Amino acid sequence: MTTALGATPAGTRRYAERLSAMTAPEHFRQQQELRISSIGLGTYLGHWDDATDKLYQEAIKRAVELGCNVFDSAINYRFQRSERAIGAALAQLFDSGKAHRDEIVVASKGGYFPFDHQPPADARAWIMDNLINTGAASVEDIVGGSHCMSPSYLENQLHQSLKNLRLDTIDIYYIHNPETQLDKVTRSEFLHRLRAAFGYLESAVQDGKIQLYGVATWNGFRQPPTAKGYLALAELLEVAEDVAGTEHHFRVIQLPHNLAMPEALTLENQTVKGELASPLMAAEKLGVTVMCSASILQSQLSQGLPPFVAETFSQFKTDAQRAIQFVRSTPCVTTALVGMSNRSHVEENLQVAQTPPASVDEFMKLFSQ
């Protein structure tokens, strides 16, 4: 197992300097004292087989060579195989000296039931044997038959994620789609559960198992305040402060943002000090780092974009590159996460890192069409 703890200011700066010859200066962003690449590799999609595991491993190693130091996963992605692919690839890089642990930002998530290796023959029996009967989760804490964020469950999942990733520390650990709980529980009960979850995650920080934590959402930050699953970022931060004071470690959120789903930028559904703001602007005002998922919307934005997008981002050869450029150029965004299990896609998409983000004028052209 790798003995280095996690990403550090010195390590990520060293990595950015080493890759400076092949990336634009603006590619690496200073966030939470770390130098973080504007393009990160996600691991959501793909079949649960050895061939896909190997493709991910090769893609991850190539991404590190080309200037990507952010790798995002979740324990339930591909039945834990995505975390294990990241762990295997990073172990090879570290053992060969081609990268070092303190240069790489690793993020994962807990909340959904992950199963193991492949779909179980009897999902209910697997949950009973591995989660309920072991005390990792209790029936009353489970929502929708698949989601739990109790301290005991997060502890169980974090322990397994560390094992899968072959790491001692995960740099960013998210509660996965916490808004799922609001399908079944009241908002007051949700905040009670969230407070307990944050309490555990703060203890995990103190134990060196994670560095920062946050929430990774799909709908939570992209809905009107009247929606049942709506999340208010300021309210979540209040919970973190109640738990750990102003020195809390709730510092990162993840949400979808792309050309087809621009609500993070355009929907003013957050309130900060009495003023309405978009989720991205609210995060900026509150000192929270934003990672954007679905940058090319599971490849749906990799082709067939309107001509005006190609005209605006004319320096790029492919629609996938243009879609990535949109996300990484959006104000208040740190990293555009892109699912990449193919080495050729890594090489195509990381070419964008050689170009500065779009200027404000160039970016705003997209909204005048």
pLDDT for residue 4: 59
pLDDT for residue 1: 37
Sign of CA dihedral 46, 47, 49, 51: negative
Q: Which residues contact 155 (CB under 8 A, 6 or more apart)?
A: 136, 200, 204
Length of the chain: 369
Burial tier of 48 (Cβ tally within 10 Å: 0-12, 13-18, 19+): middle
Mean pLDDT by 10 residues, the chain (369 residues): 76 98 97 98 97 98 98 98 98 97 98 96 96 96 97 98 98 98 97 98 98 98 97 98 98 98 97 98 98 96 95 96 98 98 97 96 84
Query: Can you tell me the distance from the alpha carbon of 31 to that of 48, in angstroms, rounded to the nearest whole number?
Result: 34
What is the Cα gyration radius of the chain? Answer: 20
Structural domains in the chain plus CATH codes = 9-14+24-112+153-368 (3.20.20.100)
DSSP 239-258: HHHHHHGGG--EEEEEEE-B
**Model pTM score:** 0.97
Query: In the numeric block, which tokens belong to residue 249?
Result: 């470690």
Strand partners, 107: 72, 172
DSSP 172-197: EEEEE-GGGGGGTS-HHHHHHHHHHH
pLDDT for residue 119: 95
pLDDT for residue 2: 41
Whether 325 and 352 have beta carbons less than 8 Å apart is answered as: yes
